[in-house]
Chains A and B, each alone.
Chain A
Amino acid sequence: MELAVLILQGIIVAPIPLVFAAIGELVVERSGVLNLGLEGMMILGAIAGFSVALDSGSLVAGIAAAALAGAIAAGIFGILTQVLLSNQVATGLALTIFGLGLAALWGQGYSGESTAPLAKIHIFLLSDIPIAGPLLFAHDPLVYLAFALVAGVAWFLSKTRAGLILRAVGENHDAAHAIGYNVVAVRMAALLFGGACAGVGGAYLSTVQTPFWVENMTAGRGWIALAIVVFASWRPGRVLVGAYLFGGVTVAQLHAQGFGIDIDAQYLSMLPYLVTILVLVLISHNKARVSLNAPACLAKPFFAPS
């Protein structure tokens, strides 16, 4: 029983980095920008969060630094793609290569160190309920923040004026410009938000989940988060479904190894990537539905006509 609770707790926590990264990217893509640099921003967040948390002794400072690092990286991407009108696919790849390199350089002195884990919030009485208590009411604050963020983004996009403007920019940037909205400013704001989210997702990985730093520790999670956005067909609520599907496979794979199932560990480690491909195929095969859900101006350059 206790083991089952422990495994379920693991399943609840494992996809949190993916939730942060994917919900940020969802906002970016709804504004019509495709930022393939998610992996780079996550790894920069991971090392920024880890190094600041370790040096200052404050995890909160670490998380804030991670958000800042992710936002700065996204800002570089924004200046290149929105102001200098560079190709978004190529610039996103550059951001990933740059991020992985810079993070490795930055983290050189931090291998082998470890941070104290984030204190769990124990909600009075509720967390003492058997089974449901530890599963629902005894996590660290970032878990709750991730869920709040998804709800907040859903509310923002569907219920607020600013959210409507952001979607308008993503659906038809020429029309939005003609009405008088500043397309570039809206997209920059979305990018900075997305970068900060990816940074926090990376920091969750390096300071809470594993609490140590390893080069390349995001191991493709940024790319999986991109697939989750497609999986979610650009709807915030479905990001949770996607993240838990992938996170669940990762945890199941780890436990299968732990139980000594007689398959080489590498084959099990392939599972999350193979499942990503499988899901992508299932989601994409209906071309009409994808194009109905995808923001119409996704990855198209915007040049303000004078």
Chain B
Amino acid sequence: MIRLEPRNEVSKGLLYVTPVIAIGVTILAGVVMFAVLGKDPIRAISIIFLEPLTDSFAISEMIVKATPLILIAIGLSFGFRAGVWNIGAEGQFTVGALSGGAVALALYEVEGFWVLPLMCLAGALGGMAWAAIPAFLRTRFNANEILVSLMLTYVAVLLLSVLVYGPLKDPEGLNFPESRMFHPAATLPILIEETRAHVGFLVALAVAAVAWVVLGRHIFGYQVKVMGQSPRAAGFGGFVEKRVVWMCLMISGGLAGLAGLFEAAGPVGQLVPALPVGYGFTAIIVTFLGRLNPIGILLAGFVMALTYIGGETAQIEMNLPSAVTGVFQGMFLFSLLGFDVLARYRIRMFRTARTAPLAVQTAVGE
């Protein structure tokens, strides 16, 4: 008979080992999946997980994909620690791109060092404004922030589409639903020549460092942790729950908005209806894979970026559908969540028969 026995303390060591186990199990499950699909499993796995690491251009593309994932995931990690579930980062990403992009289009052909910072500010504020809706509705009306932020994602994507069909459409274009390309002054500087890796990555690194300090050293990080582990204790400690909810949603909304602007002013270079590609959702996996820890999230962002690049290569080389990436990401989170039981519980084997007499069992409250 197998039983689970709670550990007195979550095992720190296992907390770092389980993500590695989860990656291994996901790869094994992937082998089975490809075999079922009738594709060469070994080749598919090596294309998805190994090949991108040997190619310098693929690595630069990993930086491009990891940047928004890391930015959004770090924002989400505050809320997830405190039990504030912002699931609508995709919507905040979209509105951030929209508001920052609108600034870029309004200041078209204006050359000035201040254009780009202004766009970043507008992007972050746009994301914050979108996240303010679930924050207000939760703190004022007790409405569930999971559902509200998610519903707003659908609204944001529709808003982007209606605006690029209308007021933000390229005046010189062929009536395609897209804005004009941003002016060079409104485009993010490139980090590595001949690639699409942009300075947004440096911002993501800086954000990770700041988050690490805030979580470990600042009173706000402490409040977030207490509220997540015991909301009642947080109340006794005199922290205002509403303030923590607001802060968490503002941080995650602002960073998601900034990530959206980086995407528009970086690799895409314009506003198009297809701008939101699901980074907001994948970032949720990155947050958990990174153990809600900024340094872990940095690593996790790269692992997830790898599955994107690998998935794209597999699409071209082996004619696999792009949906393979989503399946991998889902399996990943499944196995990670499943193996986490090891860090929180001890597995004990028992012989089937209990030896103690019934009276003794009752006496010890069995």
A interface residue numbers (CB < 8 A to B): 36, 40, 76, 79-80, 84-87, 89-91, 93-95, 97-105, 108, 215, 219-220, 223-224, 226-227, 230, 264, 266-267, 269-270, 273-274, 276-277, 280-281, 284-285, 287, 290, 303, 306
Contact = CB atoms under 8 A, between A and B. Distances in A.
A300 B40 CA distance: 43
Contacts of B203: none
A266 B143 CA distance: 25
A186 to B, nearest CB: 19
B333 A93 contact: yes
A195 to B, nearest CB: 15
B162 interface: yes
A190 to B, nearest CB: 20
B329 A273 contact: no
By CB atoms of chain A within 10 A, which of B329, B338, B344 has the most? B338
Nearest to B330: A98
B141 A276 contact: no
Contacts of A89: 85, 146
B325 interface: yes
A227 B329 CA distance: 26
B169 to A, nearest CB: 12
Interface in B98-146: 137, 140-144, 146
Interface stretch (B153-161, B180-188, B218-226, B237-245): B153-161
Nearest to B339: A84
Interface stretch (B43-51, B194-202, B280-288): B280-288
B168 to A, nearest CB: 13
Interface centre among A90, A91, A276 (most CB of B within 10 A): A90
B334 interface: yes
Interface string B312-341: 000000000111111111110110011011
A101 B142 contact: no
Given A101-B327, A108-B323, A306-B3, A284 B144 contact: yes
Interface residues on B, range: 35 or more
Contacts, number: 147
A94 B334 contact: yes
A223 B150 contact: yes
B366 interface: yes
B268 interface: no
Contact of B326 (A93, A97, A108, A223): A97
A94 B281 CA distance: 10
Contacts of A36: 146
Q: Which 3 A/B pairs are nearest by Cβ-Cβ distance?
A: A101-B326, A98-B330, A104-B323
B154 A273 contact: yes
A290 B142 contact: yes
B85 A94 contact: no
Contacts of A285: 140-143
Given A94-B330, A100-B326, A103-B323, 7 more contacts: A80-B338, A90-B288, A94-B337, A104-B323, A104-B326, A105-B327, A223-B147
Given A270-B154, A273-B152, A76 B334 contact: yes
Contacts of A90: 284, 288, 333, 337
A14 B326 CA distance: 29
A289 to B, nearest CB: 10
B11 to A, nearest CB: 15
A81 B334 CA distance: 10
Contacts of A273: 151-152, 154-155
Given A105-B323, A284-B143, A85 B330 contact: no
A266 B166 CA distance: 11
B142 A287 contact: yes
Contacts of A280: 137, 143-144, 147-148
B4 A94 contact: no
Given A269-B158, A285-B141, A303-B6, A101 B147 contact: no
B324 A105 contact: yes
Identify which of A95, A103, A220, A266 gathers the most chain B CB atoms within 10 Å of its CB: A266
B25 to A, nearest CB: 13
B95 to A, nearest CB: 13
Interface string B2-17: 0110100000000000
Contacts of A220: 150-151, 154
B165 interface: yes
Contacts of B246: none
